Structure 1
Amino acid sequence: MHNNSIFKQILLVVSIVLFVSCDKDYNVIGDGLIGDNHFDLAKETYDVVAYNQKITPIQSNNLPINALGIYDNPAFGKTTANFATQLTLASVNPTIGTNPVIDSVYIDVPYFVDATQTKPKTSGGNTYVLDSIYGEPSGKIKLSVFESGLYMRDKDPAGGFQEAQKYFTDQKTDFENLKIGNRLNDAADVSQNDAFFFDPAQHSVKTKDDAGKETTTYSAPSMRLKLNVQFFTDKILKAPAGKLTNNEIFKEYFKGLYFKVEQSGTDPGSLAMINFAKGTITIKYKENTSTTDATRVDKSIVLNMSGNTVSLLEQSNTNVDYANATSNANPVIGDDKLYLKGGEGSLAVIKLFGPDLYGEDGTTGSPNGVADQLDIIRKKGWLINQANLVFNIDTDNADFAKSPEPERVYLYDFTNNRATLDYYSYSGKITRDATTKKRGLYYKVNLTSHIRSLIKHADSTNIKLGIVVTQDITVTDFYKLRTPTAFISQAPKASVMNPLGTVLHGGKSSVPENKRLKLEIYYTKPN
């Protein structure tokens, strides 16, 4: 394929990104240059074969953002998201003095907030609205934080320690079987464990200076849990000699934390996307000034939530239509509906330009290995001005009607597991109903450079395309399935990060014409 030079040119495009929440969004480069009327260019539409593909347990370690909680999407089923992480010492080899006694231990992991809705309070601080919370906003879950007994290696011994170790969405049982002791978030306050919820309230801490003047400090919402003091006394303050010397030794000694999620009674729960890498555990304690001075001084040790991590996803209560669609896909004529779901979910595979029945002119002769529709376009010598795939959302799906929708989908080269030539157009953003501004109507994906390349270069391969939901359009890495098949071995990493899903109309002839998936090509005839 003659893709390298074109792709290098595309890589020169620079996009400036402002991070507001965990769901990153970008302006579409070149979007609207042609406009809806396309300057009255000639237009042709083509049928598309698109079918469902299940994503079985998939690699989920070291994601930049992880899900935690329970989210029941009626169109797909229930996802229970657990999490495990290593810990590191913010300052290695700490000196712990005489008679140390812990005052408190707490974990603090910030939530994403919607900055546009943050408002100052007259009493001090701010009122916040959390971002990237799915399900009931105040839905409760049973949250238990355990010491992990599973050491997460950096390198895979099966590959001679040459490749990075992979961990997968379905490994909860491995962490569950090796968890150590009782849960660490064992405070009497049930909002910290048995009835935990993602609280949007700000934190406030009051302190007094030497003159007795009181000051209140406010901070943004976060997961702030009190942890068991005795455990950290034994594990950290009384650690065996040498175990806190450096972080490689420390990670083998204290293997990390395992966040276990369960349903809290009959509450439906909720799920949050969280950047755990910003989390800390702070151990506050007092010790003697020296071996000869019993005056008590305040000290602290901070553990960072860094190192290897894994998102552990459980799927249950699967929607029957979703299960049937992903287990009975039709690669020949396509499917009526396409189910795109993040996490351990599903994607759609797309084949353009139909069958190969004839020779180079697309109408006579023997098959030549090229789709007939593509042969005909090449013969006509069209100059491609714009090419799009338009995916209409199944707005009649009652199960899906009240579920939040992904802001963007990502179209990629399914055959070779890489981005397409049109990646840097950052297309695929949802178009919502103009009146309500809520319900999505369709996703339009730019495919102009890809189609131009197919037409210009006779040796270009008409690859299969894949489409997934995406959490971050800038993430183009691919993660491996735990058990590859002849049909699929990898899927986009950004899809694993996204807990949402969408239901789209396919390109099958049984789909109404106005809703059917089509390839639109706007072109100019050669002189």
Structure 2
Amino acid sequence: MQRLSGLKQLSLLLFSILLMFSSCKEDLVTIGEGVIGGEPFNTDKAVYQVSLTNNKLTTVQTNRLPLYQLGNFTDPIYGTTRARIVTQVQIPASDPTFGDLPQATEVLMDNSGILDTLPENEEVTAVFLYLPFQTEPGSGDTDNDGVQNDFDVDPTSADSDSDGDGLTDGEERVRGTDPLNPDTDGDGIIDADDEETIANNFARSFSLDSIYGQRDMPFRVRVEENTFFLRDLDPNNNFEEDQTYFSDLDLTAFAGQVLFDGELEISAEQIVFFQEDAEDTEDIDESTLLDNTRTLAPGLRIPLDADFFQQNLLDQEGQPSLLSQSNFRDFFRGLQISIDASNDIMLLFDLTEANITVEYQYDDINNNGTTEDTTDDFVEKDERTYTLNLLTGNILGIGGNAVNQYTSENFPADIESTIATGTDDSRLFLKGGAGTFAEIQLFGDEATSEATIEEIRANNWVINEANLIFYVDRDRLTSVGGTVEPPRLYLYNAETNQPLYNIITELTFTDTPLGRFQNYGGILEEEGGTGLRYNVRITEHLNNIIVRDSANVPLRVVLSADILNVATREANEAGATEQVDIPIMTTITPLGTVLIGPNPEAALEDKRLQLQLFYTEAN
């Protein structure tokens, strides 16, 4: 009986377990069916106001820049900006020797008769200042046929014939002939019929960047000696901090001897040099062959006064002025470079790539290969080149100093008034250089923003995307005949100066200014060849505010030549007592634009600046 009772209890236990399992299984099926059928999640869009303040700068720090402006840029809205450069010049090494012998040896008496103490009589024959242009980032050759897109009749096809000589651009690349010249060697026979053209013996053309204005017209350049001493360290801070110079520093009174004053033109071709004809190769004329070791990228190559460098460089050999870099900077205080105000051209230069080449000849001792027999020794002229740098650059920063001086016209009265009063937020006025910047506050002023943020939190929204849409004031830009529109906007935290993009999670198509940070965006969207709007994604920044309780700080809006470089420089704001930090890449761009603000007239209501949220919520 006890055994049967135990079996009965076991049977009841097993039955109970099976019943529980069956119930759970039925419940699971029921819940699952409810999720699928009830659509528990909903996606939607919401828009919120932002507040706006326009701000004007009076000066910006303009020394130790990655690029320097030179020339005149006329913005049809903001007026003309003129930029000149004052730069140091540096010797590559202290106490240089010109020729073969140091000066201390040249002045010795020749007691041995070996002519080893001969005065070398160094003489400058030519001096050139080289300022290389900026070239378009990336290859600039979509079809990879050897022709940059700007010069290619069909940038999408290597079968195009850009010079009409019967050879495709792709074929010319293989043959080593010039795809932009039907007769590469100039012998009267077009390349398609010429079997004797020397391969790759021509100057190549490159797509140039950062040149604004009348680039097809000659312009007048003036290069002068600078007599103002540019300090590297600030004496007001015990020489412990870098000296800062600002864009309003006028050094024209410190211009000395004129080293060049003449007209130049822009060429997209390389600067090439030819070899010297060798006497021992009668069947080859080397003077028709390029010396590829000397080829320079497209740029300005400006002849300078040879006598000046004779007196201030070669004649200083062995003197205290060349014993150290600091001595030389004090002795020769650099150059002032400007473009005549009548020329509408603005160029940007990287002065770490610029240099001055001093070509000179000197007396050289030729011993005919014998050191013991001096009877056949004679003196002949030899040639050398000595290179001076303007600035130098490495991973530690920029060596040397240069300053950009900006002179700008007053803004139109309505823009000046809008910025000064701070009461009109119908437009954003953005101008590079010593121009303007804007500040925006998400969700409006402080009084309303906190309540809005709390409301979003209470809704338990998942923010999928957050955008700020900046529409171009097309009517204003069109009314003045159009302008060079800035390719990108840069937004950053006004308190920390940090960008709103996350470099770790960003999407990059190409390693170029407009190929990077595609998630962030901010790139000008065009319609019919003119600018329509800029869309800046700030999703992570907004989630930091809503989810992670970060502060809703003001955001600065500026123009930037490259948002990868987030370094800032000091600037002075009109009517303010404290300096502000402005991105260094804002200070180097001359461009400007006008955007629709958060409270435009009724006709532009659909284009007003606002914050767009795309979110998901549970039903």
Q: Does 1:415 align with 2:495?
A: yes
Residue of structure 1 equivalent to 2:551: 461
Q: Provide the secondary structure at the position in 1 that maps to 2:379.
A: coil
Deviation at 1:507, TM superposition (A): 0.4
Q: What is the CA–CA distance in structure 2 between the aligned matches of 1:473 and 1:290, rounded to whole Å? A: 56
Q: Does 1:329 align with 2:422?
A: yes
Q: Does 1:101 align with 2:180?
A: no
How well do the aligned residues superpose, as a CA RMSD in angstroms?
2.5
Deviation at 1:185, TM superposition (A): 1.2
Q: 2:352 aligns with which of 271, 277, 285?
A: 277
Residue of structure 2 equivalent to 1:388: 467
Q: What is the CA–CA distance in structure 1 between the aligned matches of 2:236 and 2:269, rounded to whole Å? A: 47
Residue 73 of structure 1 contacts residue 400 of structure 1 at CA under 8 Å; is this kept in 2? Answer: no
Q: Which moved more, 1:413-422 or 1:70-79?
A: 413-422
Deviation at 1:432, TM superposition (A): 3.0
Q: Does 1:199 align with 2:199?
A: no
Q: What is the CA–CA distance in structure 2 between the aligned matches of 1:70 and 1:260, rounded to whole Å? A: 9
Residue of structure 1 equivalent to 2:301: 224
Residue of structure 2 equivalent to 1:47: 49
Deviation at 1:158, TM superposition (A): 0.9
Residue 355 of structure 1 contacts residue 372 of structure 1 at CA under 8 Å; is this kept in 2? Answer: no
Residue 384 of structure 1 aligns with an amino acid whose one-letter code is I
Q: What is the CA–CA distance in structure 1 between the aligned matches of 2:134 and 2:380, rounded to whole Å? A: 42
Residue 141 of structure 1 contacts residue 263 of structure 1 at CA under 8 Å; is this kept in 2? Answer: no
CA spacing shift, 1:491–1:176, aligned 2, 3 Å:
same
Q: Does 1:297 align with 2:382?
A: yes
**Matching of residues 233-312 of structure 1 within 5 Å:** 233-239=310-316, 241-264=319-342, 267=343, 269-290=344-365, 293-306=378-391, 307-312=400-405
Q: What is the CA–CA distance in structure 2 between the aligned matches of 1:254 and 1:352, rounded to whole Å? A: 53
Q: What is the CA–CA distance in structure 2 between the aligned matches of 1:210 and 1:468, rounded to whole Å? A: 58
Residue of structure 1 equivalent to 2:617: 525
CA spacing shift, 1:160–1:209, aligned 2, 3 Å:
same
TM-score by length of 2: 0.70
Question: For residues 339-368 of structure 1, what are the alpha-carbon distances to aligned partners after superposition, in whole Å with 9 as ceiling and x for unaligned?
Answer: 1111011111101112455xxxx8xxxxxx
CA spacing shift, 1:71–1:197, aligned 2, 3 Å:
farther
What is the number of equivalent residue pairs in this alignment?
459
**Matching of residues 465-476 of structure 1 within 5 Å:** 465-476=555-566
Q: What is the CA–CA distance in structure 2 between the aligned matches of 1:492 and 1:377, rounded to whole Å? A: 32
Residue of structure 2 equivalent to 1:74: 76
Deviation at 1:132, TM superposition (A): 1.6
Residue of structure 1 equivalent to 2:107: none
CA spacing shift, 1:197–1:81, aligned 2, 3 Å:
farther
Residue of structure 1 equivalent to 2:450: 371
Q: Which moved more, 1:148-157 or 1:504-513?
A: 504-513
CA spacing shift, 1:483–1:153, aligned 2, 3 Å:
farther
Residue of structure 2 equivalent to 1:209: 277
Q: What is the CA–CA distance in structure 2 between the aligned matches of 1:260 and 1:336, rounded to whole Å? A: 38
Q: Provide the secondary structure at the position in 2 that maps to 1:525.
A: strand
Deviation at 1:429, TM superposition (A): 3.3
TM-score by length of 1: 0.81
CA spacing shift, 1:158–1:487, aligned 2, 3 Å:
closer
Q: Does 1:179 align with 2:181?
A: no
CA spacing shift, 1:470–1:355, aligned 2, 3 Å:
closer
Question: For residues 107-154 of structure 1, what are the alpha-carbon distances to aligned partners after superposition, in whole Å with 9 as ceiling and x for unaligned?
Answer: 111112344463634423224442221112224443211111122222
CA spacing shift, 1:486–1:178, aligned 2, 3 Å:
closer
Residue of structure 1 equivalent to 2:133: 111
Deviation at 1:293, TM superposition (A): 4.6
Deviation at 1:184, TM superposition (A): 0.6
Question: For residues 453-489 of structure 1, what are the alpha-carbon distances to aligned partners after superposition, in whole Å with 9 as ceiling and x for unaligned?
Answer: 111234x321111100001111111111246825762
Q: 2:540 aligns with which of 449, 458, 462?
A: 449
Deviation at 1:391, TM superposition (A): 0.4
Q: What is the CA–CA distance in structure 2 between the aligned matches of 1:399 and 1:270, rounded to whole Å? A: 22
Question: For residues 143-191 of structure 1, what are the alpha-carbon distances to aligned partners after superposition, in whole Å with 9 as ceiling and x for unaligned?
Answer: 21111112222211111212111111111x2x2122222x1114xxx32
Residue of structure 1 equivalent to 2:91: 89
Q: Provide the secondary structure at the position in 1 that maps to 2:246.
A: coil
Residue 359 of structure 2 contacts residue 386 of structure 2 at CA under 8 Å; is this kept in 1? Answer: yes
Residue of structure 2 equivalent to 1:349: 439
Residue 108 of structure 1 aligns with an amino acid whose one-letter code is Y
Q: Which runs of 5+ in 2 are unaligned?
A: 1-40, 100-119, 142-146, 152-177, 185-201, 280-284, 367-376, 392-399, 507-516
Q: What is the CA–CA distance in structure 2 between the aligned matches of 1:509 and 1:487, rounded to whole Å? A: 31
Q: What is the CA–CA distance in structure 1 between the aligned matches of 2:218 and 2:539, rounded to whole Å? A: 46
Residue 385 of structure 1 contacts residue 448 of structure 1 at CA under 8 Å; is this kept in 2? Answer: yes
Residue 570 of structure 2 contacts residue 579 of structure 2 at CA under 8 Å; is this kept in 1? Answer: no
Residue 43 of structure 2 contacts residue 617 of structure 2 at CA under 8 Å; is this kept in 1? Answer: no
Q: What is the CA–CA distance in structure 2 between the aligned matches of 1:139 and 1:57, rounded to whole Å? A: 31
Residue 417 of structure 1 aligns with an amino acid whose one-letter code is N
Residue 430 of structure 1 contacts residue 440 of structure 1 at CA under 8 Å; is this kept in 2? Answer: no
CA spacing shift, 1:232–1:179, aligned 2, 3 Å:
same
Deviation at 1:317, TM superposition (A): 5.6
Question: For residues 88-125 of structure 1, what are the alpha-carbon distances to aligned partners after superposition, in whole Å with 9 as ceiling and x for unaligned?
Answer: 12343221351111110011111123444636344232
CA spacing shift, 1:382–1:401, aligned 2, 3 Å:
farther
Residue of structure 2 equivalent to 1:138: 216
Q: Which runs of 5+ in 1 are unaligned?
A: 1-38, 363-369
Q: What is the CA–CA distance in structure 2 between the aligned matches of 1:162 and 1:299, rounded to whole Å? A: 40
Q: What is the CA–CA distance in structure 2 between the aligned matches of 1:375 and 1:433, rounded to whole Å? A: 37
Q: Which moved more, 1:298-307 or 1:227-236?
A: 298-307
Residue of structure 2 equivalent to 1:31: none
**Matching of residues 398-413 of structure 1 within 5 Å:** 398-399=478-479, 401-413=481-493
Q: Provide the secondary structure at the position in 2 that maps to 1:302.
A: strand
Q: Provide the secondary structure at the position in 2 that maps to 1:94.
A: coil
Q: Provide the secondary structure at the position in 2 that maps to 1:238.
A: helix
Residue 335 of structure 1 contacts residue 507 of structure 1 at CA under 8 Å; is this kept in 2? Answer: yes
Residue of structure 1 equivalent to 2:199: none
Deviation at 1:51, TM superposition (A): 2.4
Residue 49 of structure 1 aligns with an amino acid whose one-letter code is S
Q: What is the CA–CA distance in structure 2 between the aligned matches of 1:320 and 1:198, rounded to whole Å? A: 36
Residue 572 of structure 2 contacts residue 579 of structure 2 at CA under 8 Å; is this kept in 1? Answer: no
Residue 522 of structure 1 aligns with an amino acid whose one-letter code is F
Residue of structure 1 equivalent to 2:164: none
Q: Provide the secondary structure at the position in 2 that maps to 1:338.
A: strand
Residue of structure 1 equivalent to 2:522: 429
Between Structure 1 and Structure 2, whose CA radius of gyration is higher? 2
Residue of structure 2 equivalent to 1:168: 246
Residue 420 of structure 2 aligns with an amino acid whose one-letter code is S
Residue of structure 2 equivalent to 1:14: none
Q: Which moved more, 1:109-118 or 1:60-69?
A: 109-118
Q: What is the CA–CA distance in structure 2 between the aligned matches of 1:275 and 1:517, rounded to whole Å? A: 36
Residue 46 of structure 1 contacts residue 353 of structure 1 at CA under 8 Å; is this kept in 2? Answer: yes
CA spacing shift, 1:95–1:388, aligned 2, 3 Å:
same
Q: 1:58 aligns with which of 60, 82, 88?
A: 60
Q: What is the CA–CA distance in structure 1 between the aligned matches of 2:579 and 2:617, rounded to whole Å? A: 39
**Matching of residues 473-484 of structure 1 within 5 Å:** 473-482=563-572
